[in-house]
Amino acid sequence: MKKSTIYLAALALWGCSQAVPTQAQTWTVGNTVLTESDLVTGLDVPWEILWGPDDFIWATTRSGEVLRIEPSTGNYTSVLDLTDVVPDGGSGEPGLLGMAMHPDWANSPKVFLVYNYMVGNSIRERLVSYDWNGTALVNEDILLNTIPGFWIHNGSRLVITPDQKILMSTGDTGDGGDSSQDFAALNGKVLRINLDGTVPADNPVLNDGDAPGYTYSWGHRNIQGLCLGPDGTIYSSEHGQNNNDEFNIIEPGRNYGWPNVEGMCNTASEQTFCAANNVKEPIRTWTPCVAVNGIEYYNHPAIPEWNNCIIMGVMGGLAGANGNNDRVSVLHLSADGLTIDSEDQYFTSLNQRFRDVCVNPYTGALYVALNGSSYPGNGPNKIKEFRNLAYNAVINIAATQEMTVFPNPATDMVQIELSASMVGQKLIVFAANGDVVREITVQSTTEKLDISALPQGAYWLKATSSLGTLTKTFMKQ
């Protein structure tokens, strides 16, 4: 794959045109050219991003916010800000994690979330649902509560299957895998849950004579990615300890081996355990570990080279210990979806931890949530778009408000065009590390900003009105 820099006279976005000179990075994928752009900048460790049934991108941040983002402009609103979520403080892994949307959104607009909270001095994890009232998430309903949590290995991804069951991954909380093989524990599992929080009657029976419980599969260390294939196949990405990150197909009532088995059943003790415990082997492993993360199935004409593939975010190991392994991996599936034929790696030079991915079903664009360059995530973070601009797709969603910046890059002056809603609001200029370097009050829909005294480098703008928040990046040459 080749990266280059081009100048676009106009950047077509969802049927709209921004007739301003813009510098853009491009990447070649076979015969397809992808243009890279920053959709949102300045987020606090985005964890989940998904394409919502309302044609907006929804995102969770580890610090406790749920954001609703216009994919055409990057304008976003905070629709939930949890106050009792365990903040990560930059030193751990708990917080607001996975998210899923009710499959019958038109009649039941509900959002499902997983987050960590405190009980005394102990971290716990819960699954909840919220109602969407058109502007905010309201009416929290706790579906599954008091799952043990910790500063590491909390999971947790969510996906809803075609039979309207929630699948929720839970980590082993760093207990060495004791809970992963314990049927009585909810940790180290994939749980299967009715949309109302009850136990599905057709869940696996783990012990003869027992009633079904929440456990769907077990023997997991820390699943960080869940998605469905077109035929309903359940795929997962899972962190190994030092070796054998795994890519699995999840089947009901199956044991995935941790901590007795790491990766394939390829030692004498592992083979004995696998035979006795119905262990399902991964279809792909990575040694040393590269910190595999969020996954999505891709099949869209905009990027035909990625059809019938799993797109996976990779975080590159602890603090980049394994070199430049942070990337997006494209896993080419066999025709039946049961094996991986090959892997391609993209965007390694960005030096960013790729936490999650999602796909625009109209344009085929890929969005990635970035968590900085070091463990466990440092900001300010971005959501980036990689799009084939030659593929024409239009969706009629009017932009709430817009902001453009040109020229980009610039040397002495940038011109900023804003919607009327921003007049009278604060416009803040940030350095790439998040430090505020300038703050002005918007006087008109066209502002000129003198940047001649600023050092060379990357900067970003942030403006907020009652209609939401916009961010734009620019380079000072």
Instruction: Just list the catalytic residues.
Output: 153
Rounded CA-CA distance 253/246 in Å is 18
DSSP 229-260: -TT--EEEEE--SSS-EEEEE--TTEE--TTT
The residue among 410, 245, 263 whose CA lies nearest residue 329 is 245
**Which tokens hold the place of 445?**
């829909």
CB-based contact 58:71 (threshold 8 Å): no
Give the list of residues 6+ apart from residue 279 with CB closer than 8 angstroms, or none. 219, 254, 255, 256, 257, 261, 265, 273
Residue 214, token pair as written in the block: 């929440």
CA 201 from centroid of its chain's CA atoms: 31
Task: Compute and round to an integer the Cα radius of gyration of the chain.
Answer: 22
Q: How far apart are CA 287 and CA 349, in angstroms?
A: 21
State the amino acid at position 98 in one-letter form: G
Length of the chain equals 477
Q: Rounded to 5 degrees, what are φ and ψ at 421?
A: -60, -20
Between CA 271 and CA 398 the distance in angstroms is 58
423 vs 419: CA distance, rounded Å: 8
Question: Pairing mode, if any, of strands 254-255 and 215-218?
Answer: parallel
Strands 292-298 and 254-255, bridge-based pairing = unpaired
- Identify which of 108, 104, 126 has the alpha carbon closest to the alpha carbon of residue 193: 126
